[in-house]
A and B are shown apart, each in its own frame.
Chain A
Amino acid sequence: MALSCFLALFAPYIAPYDPTAINVKAIFLPPCSKYWLGTDGLGRDVFSRLVYGARISLWVGFLSVGISVSIGVVLGLVAGYFGGLVDEFIMRFVDIMLCFPSFFLILAVIAFLEPSLVNIMIVIGLTSWMGVARLIRAETMSLKNREFVLAARLNGASTARILFWHILPNGLSPVLVSATLGVASAILLESGLSFLGIGVQPPTPSWGNMLMEGKDVLEVAPWLSIFPGLMILITVLGYNLLGEALRDILDPRHNK
């Protein structure tokens, strides 16, 4: 995980070649000392493309989780704090959204919009906020009758201030866990979409579309498929393990 962040941040300094530079003299070269991880069908350096691909993946991961957490937090706070009909309405909506296989929903929306990096981030964000909303709602419900919230209200704090200033910080730790796991699944989703050709569009290198380009030449140039997948696996595994570790630290019930 640290590796992928490092690669993404310093991509221009690490990559030995331009990730989109075409070199007809060096097509389908297996890994060698000049091209560490080989070259693809247009003579582009696989290692450089992987390094730049890290940027795309992390970008998608963080921004889409940012979107989903924002939506989830607001709806969860409102549902938990006000209760009653508002709560019933929001939670019904959560149930409905949970019924759609998320991959179906994302594909359907993408089919109607243009596939682009921004659209993908928005769509992944819009279809994955339900878990966070449920978590925050539960936290809010247990926190809203505590003394410190009452004290804030007696001091004349506005509802918004109570929600975001007093309740939210106290209920944030499970969200942190779910956000970390969310980054992992967003990266996985993006790579899946790009692999199907409806995600990040070439020539922008993303791990998913590198795999798509590599799949047809699997037999002659397996390195085109092996390395991008390995990067996805390592990165996603990193975030999942981090999420699990955070849960062990932050959730006292889970500790036992």
Chain B
Amino acid sequence: MKIFYKFFFKILSLVITFLGITVVSFWVIHLAPGSPTDLQTTLNPKASTEVRERLNKIYGLDKPLSVQYINWLKRIIHFDFGYSLSGDHRPVWDKIKERLPLTLALNLISMFFIFILAIPLGILSAVYADSWFDKLTTIFVFIGFSVPGFWLALLLMLWLGIYCPIFPISGLTSLNFSELSFWGKLWDLANHLALPVMVFTFTGLAGLSRYMRSSMLEVLGQDFILLARAKGLPYKIVILKHALKNALLPVITILGLSVPGLIGGSVIIESIFALPGLGQLFYQAVMARDYPIILGNLVLGAILTLVGNLLADLGYFLADPRIRK
């Protein structure tokens, strides 16, 4: 029964958060000076006041803001974000849909690498706390945390793309992509994604590995570790079986929290490497003042974060039997 209540409140808070996201996004569009019909009216000498009023009526702009909000909300629940203002006038959702997989893939691959690098680094730093290894990794991850991702990307392009050309420096596929076999295609994609993933991984390493380190340190100081050691269990087993299990728990939350950072970071990285993902679309929309696309991306980015947090909560719930009671 208790679980049922918890579940109910979780859903309720999700709905409230979602509504809040839409309110903030809707408010952001209304920051724009002027009204969306200005382009056809104020800037057009032939348009009279009547024309403007008629246009406002067509777009529903004559109604109070609250009614406009409700109407807009009704549409976005059906993934109807309107049409792009750019030349092709395609539905915003279609444009987002075709770019979403690349950004998701890029983020998931990077997250995977961050995970398999940061966890061992964090464990070793904690086990050998204050050793030279700990100090070295601390400096290493702090540099990753402080380096501007786009600058690192430029340096990598210069080094691995131009001076010793190992990886292609832009785009997602080579010119002869369509002629390649399946494995050739995969290899080509991997080559193109190598540099962006490197940048993401290095810059994202710090959060998780530092967190892992402090979580591990905390667990290692607890009594049950002392007991396991006193029982005569080898140190390796104590670390890898007893301590790791407990130290990993809070890390699940951190993975969920890192979603917005990764999505936000893809704007710059995708622009530099000319990858046709969501971030690049967003950047182009900002430069072209393509409001429907900006808004659609904003809402979607927030929803992805919400989903990330939910998955993290769920993972926590499944992993920690103490919460389920």
With a 10 A CB-CB cut-off, give which of A97, A100, A215, A233 has the most chain B CB atoms. A100
Known: A100-B260, A108-B294, A229-B148. A113 touches B31 (CB 8 A): yes
Q: Chain B residues near A16 (CB, 8 Å)? A: none
B95 to chain A, nearest CB (A): 16
14 further interface pairs, Cβ-Cβ under 8 Å (given A99-B306, A103-B264, A104-B264): A95-B17, A96-B24, A98-B305, A100-B305, A103-B265, A111-B291, A195-B148, A196-B267, A218-B162, A226-B155, A229-B152, A240-B145, A241-B142, A254-B214
13 example contacts (A-B, Cβ-Cβ < 8 A) are as follows A98-B305, A103-B267, A104-B298, A105-B298, A111-B286, A112-B29, A184-B146, A191-B148, A197-B287, A233-B148, A237-B142, A244-B142, A254-B214
For the complex, give the distance between the alpha carbons of A197 and B301 in Å: 22
Known: A109-B31, A192-B268. A101 touches B301 (CB 8 A): yes
Whether A196 contacts B283 by the Cβ 8 Å rule is yes
For the complex, give the distance between the alpha carbons of A222 and B158 in Å: 8
Q: Chain B residues near A192 (CB, 8 Å)? A: 148-150, 268
Known: A233-B148, A240-B146. A108 touches B28 (CB 8 A): yes
List the B residue with the shortest CB-CB distance to A236: B146
With a 10 A CB-CB cut-off, give which of B28, B150, B297 has the most chain A CB atoms. B150
Q: Is the interface of A mostly helix, strand, loop or mixed?
A: helix
Whether B264 contacts A233 by the Cβ 8 Å rule is no
Report A84-118 CB contacts with B as 1/0, cut-off 8 Å: 00000000110111111111110111111100000
Instruction: Give the B interface residue count (CB, 8 A).
Output: 54
B152 to chain A, nearest CB (A): 8
For the complex, give the distance between the alpha carbons of A241 and B138 in Å: 10
Whether A233 contacts B298 by the Cβ 8 Å rule is no
A225 at the interface (CB under 8 A from B): yes
Known: A229-B154, A233-B148. A101 touches B16 (CB 8 A): no
A127 to chain B, nearest CB (A): 10
Report A223-253 CB contacts with B as 1/0, cut-off 8 Å: 0011011001100110011001000000000
Whether A100 contacts B302 by the Cβ 8 Å rule is yes
List the B residue with the shortest CB-CB distance to A195: B150
A34 at the interface (CB under 8 A from B): no
B147 at the interface (CB under 8 A from A): yes
Known: A225-B154, A241-B142. A101 touches B148 (CB 8 A): no
